[in-house]
Amino acid sequence: MGIVTPIILVSVIGVVSGIGLTLAAKFMAVPVDETAVKIRECLPGANCGGCGYAGCDDYASALAADHSLSPSLCAPGGAAAAAGIAAVLGVEAGSAVPKVARVRCSGLKDKTKESMEYQGFSTCAAAKLFFGGPGSCKNGCIGFGDCVSACAYDAIRVCNGVAQVDRDLCVACGMCAKACPNALIEIVPKSSRVFVGCSSTDPGKKTREVCEVGCIACKLCEKACKFDAVKVENNHAVIDAEKCKNCGLCAKACPRHIIHVIPKPGAKPAVPKPEVKPAEKQVEAPVKEEAPEKTEAVEKTEAPAKAPAETPAEKPEDKEAEKK
């Protein structure tokens, strides 16, 4: 009986607890919106916040509650996610504008200087707290790769001290932009191919001292633009992607060469045109010239061969011998 009693008590407690949990789950259950569940299945689950909501669950709940919201706000999901959401809601998917991240800094290690030797935690956020970072330009890329760690698509790398985005891998989730302590990364339409690779807010004189390619706010790009798409604000040029026509006139006018023009995918094969034919002609020309040099040498050697036949020096000696 000593062993049976505890077993009976534990069993009774278990049964009572099970009944209580079952009743609680039934009467205290939170109703689940099946539409939100179906929408959530269409989303990639990146929880990047690029759509403007806290995560995929929040975006799905908002879409289920308000069908007028755009189903194409998920950049990682792209057109496939938009089409799936539209099918669930029974609305049109609309056209999702492809976007991409880009870094507004061109201060490579050989173009800028360091103001200190930083030996702290190897993160941009930590280095930023220590006098703005080790670089002389406090608005430039710190280069420890917080954006690289934040990217889940392996679309960004730190090359020669500056973060660079792979446009083919980037899904414009915006996680890299949130991780950058200097706010150098922006999300723009992929059709925008002209951008300013500088975010310095220092006056032109100071920018020249700390970086060879920093914007000096000369406004030459602003004057060259025919579409009013370039403005110099806070000591650096800013391009309005909606007004920009990708003409590249501002890039040609920039004396610091920090306005970059990304070539079109179709134009890449036409860029490299090595002039092979002129080089081959220059190599063949000296070969043909060697032939006449050899013939001239032969003719020169044949000329002295006739000299032994003429013996004018012997004739005076013979006359003197005859006189004697």
The answer to whether residue 306 is domain-embedded is: no
289-303 average pLDDT score: 44
* pLDDT for res 1: 63
pLDDT digits (tens, 9 = 90+) for 275-289: 444 444 444 444 444
Q: Which two tokens stand for residue 80?
A: 């496939």
How much is the average pLDDT of 101-110? 94
Give me the CATH number covering residue 239.
Answer: 3.30.70.20
Indicate whether 117 and 233 sit together in one domain.
yes
Shared domain check, 141 and 88: no
If asked whether residues 195 and 147 sit together in one domain, one would say: yes
Same domain, 82 and 189: no
- End residue of a domain, out of 219, 252, 267: 267
Flag whether the pTM goes above 0.85. no
Are residues 228 and 212 located together in one domain of the fold?
yes
User: Above pLDDT 90, what percent of the chain?
Assistant: 55
Q: What pLDDT does residue 267 have?
A: 62
pLDDT at 76 over 50: yes
Residue 241 belongs to a domain: yes
Flag whether 314 is in a domain. Answer: no
Structure letter (DSSP) for residue 211: B
Q: Which of 267, 292, 308 is the last residue of a domain?
A: 267
Of 39-43, 207-211, 253-257, 294-298, minimum mean pLDDT range: 294-298
Q: Quick one: average pLDDT of 262-281? A: 54
Domain boundary among 96, 120, 142: 96
pLDDT, tens digit, 9 for 90 and up, residues 306-320: 444 444 444 445 445
Examine the domain organization and report whether 161 and 249 are in the same domain. Answer: yes
Interior/surface letters 18-44, b for 16+ CB within 10 angstroms, e for the rest: eeeeeeeeeeeeeeeeebbebbbebbb
pLDDT for position 271: 42
pLDDT at 301 over 50: no
Exposed (0-12), middle (13-18) or buried (19+): which is 251, by Cβ within 10 Å?
middle
Kindly state whether residue 234 falls inside one of the protein's structural domains.
yes
The domain containing residue 109 runs over which residues? 99-267
> What total of structural domains would you count in the chain?
2
